[in-house]
Homo-oligomer: A and B are copies of this chain.
């Protein structure tokens, strides 16, 4: 998918909502546990109920890996379902991978070719030659961790150099010089709205993937105040707040209601800013 196609989809749906498919067998409705592939059945129902309200889905691969081969099969079926039925949806493998050159190419192939995701999240610690192999794939996006929403995010990411620049600012600056850097997006946690202004100065045009709205306490309006750009430029993710709205047979309908609430908020924000 191209960036223009993503922007078009956001404008058409009046939504920059990403739904996190972090499926935990202990949290899904019991009646699904009787099916052959409960994780896929759950995802399919969530996607069917929300695909007109969201522009992106983001399975976190850890939740699938934890179930071994079965889990990988469920992930594979989920991405196939999305690609076959909703090719207009932007798909994110939230895998936080990263390794040296050749090895990163392997990961890139796994997610971009074998599973045909539109994008994958990548950790920046190992630098240019761990990320550029991902950027070499045309019309695919690499979403680099910049400033994460968790408490430990402050352990190293705000480390400040002699000139007053923090590590996450370096990550934004340096990565902008890498080959095919126009195919980068960045993860910036919604719990840190005070940083968005600084971030937008360094990367005014890139999309930001923003987790942490809802369950983790991030606030949508603050995020938009500083994060939106003329292309909208945000994908705001909600996982638990949507997919676990109910554990009953009405789970998909309740997930839709939660997604609709967020989409409506987004529509109002976009309208106010004539976007």
- Beta-carbon nearest neighbor of A165 in chain B: B159
From residue A80, how far is it (CB to closest CB) to chain B in Å?
A: 12
Query: Which of B104, B124, B152 sits near A127, CB closer than 8 Å?
Result: B152
Kindly specify which of A69-77, A83-91, A192-200, A251-259 makes contact with the partner chain. A69-77
- Give the number of times this chain occurs in the complex, counting copies: 2
Determine if A167 and B156 form an interchain contact, defined as CB atoms under 8 angstroms apart. Answer: yes
Kindly specify which of A42-50, A58-66, A228-236, A262-270 makes contact with the partner chain. A58-66
Q: Which residues of B contact A101 (CB under 8 A)?
A: 150
Determine if B149 and A106 form an interchain contact, defined as CB atoms under 8 angstroms apart. Answer: no
A156 to B109, CA, bound (A): 25
From residue A144, how far is it (CB to closest CB) to chain B in Å?
A: 10
Known contacts A69-B69, A96-B97, A161-B162; decide if A103 and B62 are in contact (CB<8 Å): yes
Determine if A130 and B159 form an interchain contact, defined as CB atoms under 8 angstroms apart. Answer: no
Q: Which residues of B contact A103 (CB under 8 A)?
A: 22, 60, 62-63
Q: How many interface residues does chain A have, given as a range?
A: 35 or more
Determine if B110 and A128 form an interchain contact, defined as CB atoms under 8 angstroms apart. Answer: no
Query: Which of B62, B68, B109, B125 sits near A124, CB closer than 8 Å?
Result: B125
Q: Which residues of B contact A226 (CB under 8 A)?
A: none
Q: Which residues of B contact A167 (CB under 8 A)?
A: 156, 159, 167
A99 within 8 A of B: yes
12 interchain pairs, CB-CB under 8 A: A62-B97, A63-B106, A68-B72, A68-B110, A69-B72, A100-B152, A101-B150, A123-B125, A124-B125, A125-B125, A129-B151, A161-B162
